[in-house]
Structure 1
């Protein structure tokens, strides 16, 4: 594990190793600056692991390294869903199994945050990578890369403004329940406050790849969050095309979200989404356009969580998506998807979390009229730094 204290040391060592190679050619002022840098790092480390701010400073810029190492172990009982519980493959003959064990560390990630004061406000940067490359390979993949100007502007790749981050259900497996928006896209976003607990955001975003559109997407959101109650509404508008690029349709969506902490240690939250040609923005990944027609969809999630003492947290989440037109997945084609996630998290130490989850998924096949279901159990260990 690389603790924040060790991170500061490594960054300091890197900076000093570079600058010291030039020290012999510099004057006394440069030597004095290097000595100040060394003393500043020693002062930072002397605070101890619980007091250090976890930031390294180069000039006016502070840096912070964050992330986690996560090991997942899972067993699919009916259909092999891969490293994520991908409900779309349930029922496909090619995925059928009498039992498949799998393990992955691909969810592990690392990120870097920077902050630099300026005349127009603090300039922040974020670069975050994980190991979820395509084809099952454990290779670096870009998650976030953005610039933030003050508290208002975000430029670069981040979660879509259409996605309800504050009410997103908690799960051990990577995706979580169906019935909710999930996308990271390049964008320009402006955020401002209505009041202390309320804000709005507007964005121009790149459309997700499976929408097959070269046009941008426009989103708007408004949220109230006082720590006990959350209420949010978000809208999206763009254009979508079929795979052949022949038929183009309007793409729009609305998300309504809310959560409440009505009792000690408890959390109840819901998300509802509806729209047209919106499937590529959702966990279920339904087709946006089918036979030249826009595919309407409705979806929702419901989650209940409860703290049990200072170290345990348990929860259950249900997700559902319903499409007007069928999406082909091989031999089958679905219009309905359902998932149930039942999980428990144990905070073994301040940085180490152990977890377990049971996942149930169900999908229909419009060709045969049959329903198919599959189950998975998953356990994981996650070390944050």
Structure 2
């Protein structure tokens, strides 16, 4: 049975079960609903797209529904870091704990992709939402919303072109290691194929929250990827301001990334970032401006992964951020952040993955000269669709 056929059958079965309980009281309404459902199922079966073209077809547009349901369970030993392993709260008296258990489904997400042929190339669309709204609530939040024209143009919200997606470390918890750019922003991006396995991309983007600038950001990146080796360089230029607009500084940065698959199932990859006023782009969210001066930063991630079988893989990732000027959070002020993620993933079925992770975080306090650390364990189950 095709994928669309399965979905249609499940839809029909679910509706029959639900409506059956009220059949005596609502015979006429139920019959009408069942007739409408049968018509919909027949239409879906008649107009279903081929296996490689998406889940549904409307005219000459194919639609693909995707996403996953993910349940996370975690235990913080010294400091309560919340739904994500947020290293910035480590050391804060308000976050201190003798042990805190938590659970969340907020990483769950759903997305829709469309594809329509046209005289100027394939027109694609993407709309993706998750449940990571503000204040710890499970409410819909926009992740991606963009239009693509062929393999050249992207218009809308997507990962910043400055971010190295292909070498981003794998983690069970939401953020992953510190020391790497992580941002989704509205943008216009152009990508050009420079030859075998090499692409160049440039973009005009909105600045991220925390930079407090209404001016656009310019980025450029070049990447070589042949499936075994990846080498990427990216650059960013814009400006950052204080909240009151009294101080404005240049904001710039470069990222160098690489990965290699040295043997079967093995993966080693690194990312290095350097720049000025870049804190709002990084996992650690250091201040862009401190005392009227631009805050320089260096960030690093290193990851090693190994497939143990077709079902098991394990990995370890290290991340670090070093700032010239201290960022105040609560009662403490940091210039250094470190994280270690050690994880294992088990592919129970083609769609269901079980995972576990140990996370270590460390943050310094420039005022007292102390270092504070936090330990966390996390397990998760993720069902892709």
Query: Is the shorter-chain TM-score for this pair beyond 0.5, marking a shared fold?
Result: yes
Question: In the alignment, does 2:304 pair up with 1:304?
Answer: yes
Maintained 8 Å contact 1:321/1:338? yes
1:242 CA drift (Å): 1.4
Contact 1:157 1:185 in 2 (8 A): yes
Cα deviation 1:39-61 (Å, max 9, x = unaligned): 7724849x9xxx67542111110
- 2:317 aligns with 317
Are the structure 2 counterparts of residues 182 and 4 from structure 1 closer, same or farther at C-alpha, using a change threshold of 3 Å? Answer: farther
Q: How does 1:273-312 map to 2 (within 5 A)?
A: 273-312=273-312
Determine if contact 1:8/1:54 at 8 Å carries over to the other structure. Answer: no
* Aligned match of 2:211: 211
Task: Report deviation, 1:244.
Answer: 2.4
Distance 2:79 2:46 in 1: 55
Q: Secondary structure at the match of 1:88?
A: helix
| Cα distance in 1, alignment partners of residues 229 and 52 from structure 2 | 32
Contact 2:5–2:45 under 8 Å retained in 1: no
In structure 1, list runs of 5 or more residues that go unmatched.
13-34
Structure 2 SS opposite 1:227: coil
Cα contact 1:307–1:313 (8 A) shared by 2: yes
Provide the C-alpha distance between the structure 2 equivalents of 1:73 and 1:132, rounded to a whole number of angstroms: 16
Q: What is the rounded CA distance, in whole Å, between the counterparts of 2:116 and 2:216 in structure 1? A: 30
Are 2:68 and 1:64 aligned? no
Contact 1:324/1:335 (CA < 8 Å) preserved in 2?
yes
Against the structure 1 CA distance between its residues 212 and 7, is the aligned structure 2 distance closer, same or farther, given a 3 Å change threshold?
farther
Return the offset for 1:209.
1.3
Query: Partners of 1:44 and 1:161 in 2: how far apart?
Result: 35
Q: Distance in 2 between matches of 1:338 and 1:4?
A: 46
State yes or no: 1:119 paired with 2:123: no
For 1:67-105, what per-residue CA distance to the aligned partner results, in whole angstroms no more than 9, with x for missing partners? Answer: 000000000000000000000000000000000000000
* 1:63-142 paired onto structure 2 within 5 Å: 63-142=63-142
Q: Which residue of 1 aligns with 2:45?
A: 41
Provide the alpha-carbon RMSD of the alignment: 2.1
The list of structure 1 runs, each at least 4 consecutive aligned residues, that deviate by more than 6 angstroms after superposition, is 8-12
Normalising to structure 2: TM-score of the pair? Answer: 0.89
Match of 1:362 in 2: 362
Distance, in Å, in 2 between the alignment partners of 1:4 and 1:235 is: 43
Gaps of 5+ in 2: 13-38
**Aligned ranges 1:335-350 → 2 under 5 Å:** 335-350=335-350
1:374 correspondence with 2:374: yes
Q: Deviations over 1:207-240 (max 9, x none)?
A: 0011000100000000000000000000000000
Q: Cα–Cα, structure 1 residues 343 and 60, in superposed 2: closer, same or farther, change >3 Å?
A: same
> Are the equivalent residues in 1 in contact too, given 2:53–2:62 (CA < 8 A)?
no
Match of 1:19 in 2: none
Whole-Å separation in 2 of the counterparts to 1:295 and 1:309 = 45
Q: Within 2, Cα distance between the matches of 1:62 and 1:374? A: 47
Matches of 1:204 and 1:381 in 2, distance apart?
A: 37
SS of residue paired to 1:210: coil
Contact preservation (8 Å) 2:253, 2:274: yes
Tell me, yes or no, if the aligned pair for 1:351 and 1:383 is still in contact at 8 Å: yes
For the Cα contact (< 8 Å) 2:289–2:295, is it kept in 1? yes
Cα gap change, 1:40 to 1:68, in 2 (>3 Å): closer
Instruction: Indicate if the aligned counterparts of 2:8 and 2:44 stay in contact, CA closer than 8 A.
Output: no
- In the alignment, what sits opposite 1:185? 185
